[in-house]
Chain A
Amino acid sequence: MAWQRAASLESIPENGVLGVEIAGTPVALYRLKDEVYATHGVCTHALALLAEGFVEDGKIECPLHQGVFDIRSGKALCAPLTRDLQTFAVKVEGGEVFVALDQSAHEAGEKRPEESTLENAAATGGVVVIGAGQAAAAAIIAMREAGFGGTIDLIGDEPHPPYERPPLSKEMLSGQGGGPLYRLTEEDATRQKVKLHLGIRAAAVDSAAQTVRLDDGTTLSYGALLLTTGGRARRLTVPGTDLPNVLHLRTIEDAAAIDRAFGNASDVCIIGGGFIGLELASAASARGLAVTLLEREAEIMSRLLPASLGRVFRKLAQQHQVDLRLNADVRAIVERGRRLGIDAGGEIIEADLVLVGIGLEPELDLAQTAGCQCAGGIVVDADGRTSVPRIWAAGDCALHHIESGNRALRLESWHNAEEQGDAAGRSIAGVTATARKAPWFWTDQFSLNIQMLGLVGAGDLVAHSGVPGAAPGAVYRTIDRNSGRLTGVVAFSKTKAIREARAELEKEGPFDLAAAGAQLLNAISASEEINLEVGDMNANPPLSITTRYVWPKEGLRRIPDWVYTDQTIYEREIERIFQGRTWNYVALECEVPNPGDYIRSNVGPTPVVVSRAEDGTIHVFENRCAHRAAEFCRELSGNAKEFVCPYHQWSYDLKGNLAGVPFRRGVDGKGGMPKDFHNADHGLRRLNVTTHRGVVFASYRPDMETLQEYLGPEILAEFEATFDGRKPRLLGHYRHTLPGNWKLYHENLKDPYHATLLHTFLVSFGLLVAGNKSLMLADPTGRHGVMASAKSDKSVSSESKNEMRAYREGMELADPRLMNFIEEFDSPWSVTMATIWPNLIIQREMNTLGVRQIVPTGPHEFIMKWTMFGFEGDDEEMTRHRLRQGNLMGPAGFLGLEDNEAIKFVQDGMQHVPNGNHLVELDPAVAMGTSDTLISEAAIRGMYQHWRQEMGL
Chain B
Amino acid sequence: MTRPLSTPVVADARLEAVLLRHEIETFNTAYAVTLDEQRLMDWVELFTDDALYVVLSRENFDRGLPVGLIYCENKGMIRDRAFALRETAMFAPRYLRHMIANLSVFEEASDGTITARANYVVLQVLFDRPDATLHQVGTYYDKFRRTADGLRLAERRCVYDNLLVPNALCIPV
- List the interface of chain A (C-beta within 8 A of B): 636-637, 730-739, 758, 760-761, 764, 806, 808, 811, 813-815, 818, 863, 868, 879-880, 883-884, 886-887, 890-894, 896-898, 900-902, 904-905
Contact = CB atoms under 8 A, between A and B. Distances in A.
B81 to A, nearest CB: 7
B100 to A, nearest CB: 19
Which among A761, A815, A863, A904 has the highest number of chain B CB atoms within 10 Å?
A815
Contact of B90 (A736, A760, A811, A813): A760
Nearest to A905: B92
A912 to B, nearest CB: 11
A764 B90 contact: no
B166 A736 contact: yes
B87 interface: yes
Contacts of A891: 69, 165, 167-169
Nearest to A811: B87
Contacts of B56: 732
B168 A732 contact: no
B118 to A, nearest CB: 20
A730 B63 CA distance: 11
Grouping DSSP codes into helix (H, G, I), strand (E, B) and loop, the B interface class, with mixed when no group exceeds half, is: mixed
A884 B72 CA distance: 7
Contacts of B69: 734, 890-893
Contacts of A737: 164-167
A900 B167 contact: yes
Nearest to B72: A887
Interface in B35-72: 55-57, 59-60, 63, 65-72
B170 interface: yes
Given A736-B166, A736-B167, A884 B65 contact: no
Contact of B67 (A732, A813, A814, A904): A732
Question: Closest 9 A-B residue pairs measured CB to CB?
Answer: A732-B67, A814-B76, A732-B65, A892-B169, A736-B165, A892-B69, A815-B76, A897-B168, A732-B60
A724 to B, nearest CB: 21
B168 A815 contact: no
B67 A868 contact: yes
Contacts of A738: 167
Interface string B115-144: 000000000000000000000000000000
Contacts of A863: 164
B66 A732 contact: yes
A898 B59 contact: no
A904 B170 CA distance: 14
B90 A901 contact: yes
A731 B67 CA distance: 6
Contacts of B79: 814
A362 to B, nearest CB: 67
Nearest to B61: A732
A738 B90 CA distance: 16
Given A761-B84, A761-B88, A815-B76, A892 B67 contact: no
Nearest to B67: A732
A76 to B, nearest CB: 80
B168 A806 contact: no
B163 interface: yes
Contact of A760 (B88, B163, B166, B168): B88
B80 interface: yes
Contacts of B63: 637, 732
Contacts of B165: 734-737, 891-892
A332 to B, nearest CB: 41
Nearest to B71: A883
A891 to B, nearest CB: 4
Contacts of B76: 813-815
Nearest to A806: B88
Given A883-B71, A886-B71, A897-B169, A731 B65 contact: yes
Nearest to B85: A894
6 contacts: A761-B84, A761-B88, A814-B75, A814-B83, A886-B67, A893-B69
Contacts of A758: 90
Contacts of B148: none
B34 interface: no
A40 to B, nearest CB: 78
Nearest to A898: B90
A730 B167 contact: no
Contacts of A732: 56-57, 59-60, 63, 65-68
A909 B80 CA distance: 32
